[in-house]
Structure 1
Amino acid sequence: MDGTVLIADDDRTIRTVLTQALTRAGCRVHATGSLAQLAKWVDEGRGDLVITDVMMPDGNGIDRIPEIRKLRPDLPVIVISAQNNIVTAIRATEAEAFEYLPKPFDLPDLMGKAGQALSRRPRRTSDAVDAQPELQGGPSDQSADPAMPLIGHAPAMQALFRMVARVLNADLPVVISGEAGVGKSMIARSFHDLSDRKAKGLVVLSAADPMDAALARIEAQVAGGSIIIENPASFDAAAQARLVGMIETFEADPEPSRSPRLISTMGEDPQADLAAGRLRTDLYYRLAGVTMAVPPLRARIEDIVPLARHLLARTATQGLPDRTLSDDAAALIRAHPFPGNVRELENAVRRLALTAAGPEITAAEVGDTLAQGLGADRLAHLGERATPVAERNTRQMPLAAGADTPLSDAVDAHLQRYFDLHGDQLPPPGLYDRIIREIEKPLLEIALDATGGNQLRCADLLGINRNTLRKKLTDLNIEVTRRRKLM
């Protein structure tokens, strides 16, 4: 890898790690904690690649990209950010960033993207910088905007955000599928609210709406705007036929700019609705220009606690008490299957914000709230109230040093309680992967601690390839100490 890389990040540790990695790869590196210094280097014609954080003490890295492109159209910019929400992905795409990577990122992945960026542009020869100022700057506020409902660091959510960003302003109709409560309606609204149609009309159609009144609203309000159709499979046959006729009218309009964007939400398996005759084939294929699936909460376990804390922050902006989660409370929330997905989590968080006895929510309070959400019949089946994580670990699953309890017995007890939690119902699908992840994460964390954060020794201890270990650390979003954190 050859070229000069300009790094702007207010975290000195990240600057150091990236500088060392890129230097070892053969690059010249200049790092700063200031966007003003970065702009000065760019204006002087220095650098073949920019890597910038978003939230900086003196501005927003994405906001600087248009200025960089105006001065240096051929200079690629890689954006890195702990603002892991859909707006960041969309804004980075709209600003024509070469790549956007959420923090904590996988260092080999970033190095690969940097190599691609450097290989796709002409080399510059005059990049000498007299000094490489390491400007001091404390960590910026990387917390998510409380008004933003869509956040997620999990790979599945980041892939979804990138897909939304790519087609946000396209004219193609969009189908958003997924289980109940995953946030399909929020994403549908984002397609309108974050697009270049946001100043125009929006009409939401559901099966409960009288079709004549709905079509009249569309005619009056939605020229060039958006129409969200909620679960068209729930519309009766006559209403679906009216929808087909409406779309045909849009397609025949001699002024394409008047045609609205069609955004539809559907269940987790639209093909099953087609096969069962609940959804007209001609309607589906008129709506499914682009399809994207929203993952259930159990497929993004690493997002559950950050999302709960985000929702708590949002409730505080809505007039409810300002609360935080204790570590045991967070662990209990993370272990819950949340069959109702984000909607269930949000309901639980609102109840906790209202009913918690103090500013910090305890595990006992979380246990009570989650048990109430199961219903009285399942609570009776459990035979006891939920207990804090620490208490449960010592009383029901004795794994302390020197204990004689075999691991298999402890796992058996844990799994039996998990099945008991669901009463007469089976747990949600995907149980095998969820349990493996729950066991794998502490195993990797303890092994890393035991080897002092040395990933090569840790991989050897576990008997796996070092690259496999790196991938697992990223996939499991393991929060690690600075000495072993993947920057």
Structure 2
Amino acid sequence: MDGTVLVADDDRTIRTVLTQALTRAGCRVHATGSLAQLQRWVEEGRGDLVVTDVMMPDGNGIDMIPAIRKARPDLPVIVISAQNTIVTAIRAAEADAFEYLPKPFDLPDLMGKAGQALSRRARLSDRTPDRAGQAAAPSPVTAAAGVPAEAGAPLGADPALPLIGHAPAMQALFRMVARVLNADLPVLILGEAGVGSTTVARSFHDLSDRRGAALVILTAADAASETLSRMIDKARGGTVLIENPAGFDAGTQARLIGSIEAWENGPDRAQAPRLISTLGPDPQAEVAAGRLRADLYYRLAGVTITVPPLRQRVDDIPALARHLLARVAAQGLPGRTLSDEAMALIRAHPFPGNVRELENLLRRLTLTAAEDEISAAEVREALETDHPAHFNAGRIDAGIMATGGTRPMAAGQPAARTPERAQATDPGTGRLSQSVEAHLRRYFDLHGDSLPPPGLYDRILREVERPLLQIAMDATGGNQLRCADMLGINRNTLRKKLTDLNIEVTRRRKLM
């Protein structure tokens, strides 16, 4: 890899890591914690690639991209940000960033993107000045999301947009939304109940250049024959959001196809509304079962986007929970926080109802909590009320697997312990694997003839991971570099895990 890379980040550690990695790859690197210095380097003609953070002490990295484009139209920019929201991804795409990567980023991934940017710079230089001028225009996302345009403004601060997440599946979703936000293509959004499909669908209107026109929502109840055409006509130049078209009867689906054809072939097709639809996770099954007409499905599925269930992005739960609590507080309910133990319980819960279930749980806890900080006992009681079968069968309490806590067997539950299992009953003796086996055997025994609730693999790993990181950080005196080296993981990975697990880091000198 050859070229000069300009790195701007207010975190000195990240500047050091990127400088070392890029230098080893053969690049020359200039690193700074100031956007003003970055701008001077760009105007002086330095650099073949820019890697910049978003939130900087003297400005906003995304807001600076138009100025970079004006001075150096062929200079690619990679944006890195801890603001893992859909608004950040869309604003980076609108500003014509070469790539957007959420923090903590995967270093090999960033190095791969940097190599692509450097190798394709010649093609980027073919872009016209008009494109750079368009990039300098005010971002419709900034206005739609209520984000101030001045430097240092928080991105994605609107509590009405709970589309946040660092998980790869969510980042892929954000990138796809950013790519097709203003395209004249119908979009079909798939997902389980409660994942937020409608919220994603609304973002296509609220963050697009159609936001000044009407958004019309069609449901099975609204789509009566005498109102269907009138409702679609109302969305002239705007967006029609069709919620679960598989729930429409056959006659309504036929009329909907007729209305779409009339818009597509009529004299006012330039003002045709954009079609955004939501459906369950398996549209082909809906077609095969006869609930959804195949010709309607293919008209709606110009672009298909899948919203992942919450169990597939467990690491997003802490940030999502804090966001939802802030949204509840903005609606006039008491401001609450979650204790570390309460957050651990929430992370361990499978949430079959996805984000909607999480939001309802937090809203209820906001009203019923005795203190400003919601306790683990209050979370446990609420979850036990909602999912008595899981809890009565034997739950993993916060720390039950790690501490070897026991619970009484349910009445009539078979004693599944065998002589082989009894060999490793004392967690304080024998090898680690024997202690872990004893805990796991006990946990499965508590379920009798039933199986544990879904998500066991991730829950067990988290139970082991937290004490491992706590003890390792204590042994290294809070030195994250030494701790990461001892564990054999990347320091950025360690920092992310410490944040997600709410492990407090106190730097001190190790006593010998």
TM-score scaled by structure 1?
0.83
Matches of 2:286 and 2:190, distance apart in 1: 12
Q: Which residues in structure 2 correspond to 1:357-368 (within 5 Å)? A: 357-368=370-381
Letter of the structure 1 residue corresponding to residue 229 of structure 2: L
Decide which of 409, 428, 438 is 1:402's aligned counterpart: 428
Query: 1:212 maps to which residue?
Result: 226
Q: Which residues in structure 2 correspond to 1:263-412 (within 5 Å)? A: 263-374=276-387, 378=389, 382=392, 389-390=398-399, 393-394=402-403, 396=405, 402-403=428-429, 406-412=435-441
SS of 2:79's equivalent? strand
Query: 1:89 maps to which residue?
Result: 89
Matches of 2:215 and 2:155, distance apart in 1: 30
The verdict on how the C-alpha distance between 1:415 and 1:246 changes in structure 2, with shifts beyond 3 A counting, is: farther
Decide which of 214, 220, 245 is 2:258's aligned counterpart: 245
Query: 1:186 maps to which residue?
Result: 199
Query: 1:163 maps to which residue?
Result: 176
Q: Deviations over 1:166-187 (max 9, x none)?
A: 1111111111011000000000
Question: Could you tell which deviates more after superposition, 196-205 or 442-451?
Answer: 442-451
The verdict on how the C-alpha distance between 1:411 and 1:395 changes in structure 2, with shifts beyond 3 A counting, is: closer
Matches of 1:334 and 1:143, distance apart in 2: 25
Letter of the structure 1 residue corresponding to residue 165 of structure 2: G
Deviation at 1:361, TM superposition (A): 1.3
The verdict on how the C-alpha distance between 1:448 and 1:93 changes in structure 2, with shifts beyond 3 A counting, is: farther
Q: Which residues in structure 2 correspond to 1:417-456 (within 5 Å)? A: 427-428=453-454, 431=455, 434=458, 438=462, 441=465, 445=469, 453=482
The verdict on how the C-alpha distance between 1:308 and 1:86 changes in structure 2, with shifts beyond 3 A counting, is: same
Q: 2:342 touches 2:374 (CA, 8 Å); kept in 1?
A: yes
The verdict on how the C-alpha distance between 1:456 and 1:358 changes in structure 2, with shifts beyond 3 A counting, is: closer
The verdict on how the C-alpha distance between 1:15 and 1:232 changes in structure 2, with shifts beyond 3 A counting, is: same
Question: Could you tell which deviates more after superposition, 317-326 or 283-292?
Answer: 317-326
Query: 1:127 maps to which residue?
Result: none
Matches of 1:171 and 1:433, distance apart in 2: 42
Greater RCO (CA < 8 Å, at least 6 residues apart): 1
Question: Could you tell which deviates more after superposition, 178-187 or 431-440?
Answer: 431-440
Deviation at 1:427, TM superposition (A): 3.8
Q: Deviations over 1:267-311 (max 9, x none)?
A: 111111111101111110110111111110011111112211111
Q: 2:402 touches 2:463 (CA, 8 Å); kept in 1?
A: no
Gaps of 5+ in 1: 124-139, 460-468
Query: 1:230 maps to which residue?
Result: 243
Deviation at 1:415, TM superposition (A): 4.5
Question: Could you tell which deviates more after superposition, 227-236 or 404-413?
Answer: 404-413
Deviation at 1:446, TM superposition (A): 7.6
Q: Deviations over 1:29-59 (max 9, x none)?
A: 2222221221122122221111111111222
Q: 2:77 touches 2:99 (CA, 8 Å); kept in 1?
A: yes
Cα-Cα RMSD: 3.3
Query: 1:43 maps to which residue?
Result: 43
Letter of the structure 1 residue corresponding to residue 14 of structure 2: I
SS of 2:121's equivalent? coil
Matches of 2:465 and 2:93, distance apart in 1: 33
SS of 2:189's equivalent? strand
SS of 2:5's equivalent? strand
Query: 1:466 maps to which residue?
Result: none
The verdict on how the C-alpha distance between 1:382 and 1:473 changes in structure 2, with shifts beyond 3 A counting, is: same
Letter of the structure 1 residue corresponding to residue 260 of structure 2: I
Letter of the structure 1 residue corresponding to residue 235 of structure 2: V
SS of 1:291's equivalent? strand
Task: State the percentage of identical aligned residues.
Answer: 61
Q: 1:232 touches 1:240 (CA, 8 Å); kept in 2?
A: yes
Matches of 1:471 and 1:7, distance apart in 2: 19
Q: 1:5 touches 1:48 (CA, 8 Å); kept in 2?
A: yes
Deviation at 1:66, TM superposition (A): 1.2
Q: 1:229 touches 1:265 (CA, 8 Å); kept in 2?
A: yes
Q: 1:176 touches 1:293 (CA, 8 Å); kept in 2?
A: yes
Deviation at 1:329, TM superposition (A): 0.8
Question: Could you tell which deviates more after superposition, 337-346 or 4-13?
Answer: 4-13
Letter of the structure 2 residue corresponding to residue 145 of structure 1: A
The verdict on how the C-alpha distance between 1:300 and 1:387 changes in structure 2, with shifts beyond 3 A counting, is: closer
Deviation at 1:144, TM superposition (A): 5.7
Matches of 2:382 and 2:445, distance apart in 1: 21
The verdict on how the C-alpha distance between 1:473 and 1:61 changes in structure 2, with shifts beyond 3 A counting, is: closer
The verdict on how the C-alpha distance between 1:472 and 1:80 changes in structure 2, with shifts beyond 3 A counting, is: closer
How many residues of Structure 1 are paired with residues of Structure 2 in the alignment?
Answer: 447
Decide which of 138, 154, 157 is 1:145's aligned counterpart: 157
Deviation at 1:259, TM superposition (A): 1.0
The verdict on how the C-alpha distance between 1:331 and 1:141 changes in structure 2, with shifts beyond 3 A counting, is: farther
Letter of the structure 2 residue corresponding to residue 389 of structure 1: A
Q: 1:329 touches 1:363 (CA, 8 Å); kept in 2?
A: yes
Matches of 1:34 and 1:246, distance apart in 2: 54
Deviation at 1:233, TM superposition (A): 0.4
Matches of 2:451 and 2:273, distance apart in 1: 43
SS of 1:478's equivalent? helix
Matches of 1:144 and 1:448, distance apart in 2: 35
Letter of the structure 2 residue corresponding to residue 34 of structure 1: S
Query: 1:52 maps to which residue?
Result: 52
2:44 counterpart of 1:34: no
TM-score scaled by structure 2?
0.79
Q: 2:42 touches 2:68 (CA, 8 Å); kept in 1?
A: yes
Letter of the structure 1 residue corresponding to residue 162 of structure 2: P
